[in-house]
């Protein structure tokens, strides 16, 4: 059972960038999409394995869920879900996603 969702600094920065970009046209829609992303991620508490598996190495797994036009990259570790990053689907995913080493200490 998942205890909580933890947003990494990178994911928080991604959300700020998304909000700022959308707010150039509409602050209302910017707030709405950020709220929708948070709500969709909260559903991971009851269904943590719902996301598509992106990467597997030893016991480390990266998953992704699609939320509107965004990819939410996450991992499950020590009973928590760590949101690693949020990318627009039109962007090419980086070949290496920066996973904070502090997750595994």
- For the chain, give every domain's residue range: 4-89
pLDDT score, position 61: 87
Q: pTM value?
A: 0.85
Helices 9-23, 27-42: inter-axial angle, 10-degree rounding:
150
The CATH number of domain 4-89 is 3.40.50.300: no
pLDDT score, position 91: 82
Instruction: State the residue for tokens 């994911």.
Output: 11
Kindly indicate the confidence band of residue 94, based on its pLDDT and cuts at 50, 70 and 90.
low
- Please tell me the total number of residues recorded for the chain in this structure: 105
Per-residue pLDDT tens digits for 22-55: 999 999 999 999 999 999 999 999 999 889 998 8
Q: What is the DSSP string of 16-53?
A: HHHHHHHHTT-HHHHHHHHHHHHHHHHGGGT-TT-SEE
HSE value, Cβ hemisphere, 13 Å, CA-based, for 4: 3
Kindly indicate the confidence band of residue 96, based on its pLDDT and cuts at 50, 70 and 90.
low
């Amino acid at each position: 059972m998942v205890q909580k969702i933890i947003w990494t600094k990178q994911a928080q920065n991604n959300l700020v960038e998304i909000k700022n970009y959308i707010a150039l046209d509409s602050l209302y829609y910017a707030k709405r999409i950020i709220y929708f992303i948070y709500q969709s991620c909260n559903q991971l508490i009851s269904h943590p394995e719902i996301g598509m598996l992106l990467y597997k190495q030893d016991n480390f797994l990266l998953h992704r869920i699609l939320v509107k036009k965004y990819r939410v990259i996450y991992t499950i570790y020590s009973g928590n879900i760590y949101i690693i990053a949020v990318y627009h689907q039109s962007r090419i995913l980086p070949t290496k996603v920066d996973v904070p080493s502090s997750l595994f200490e």
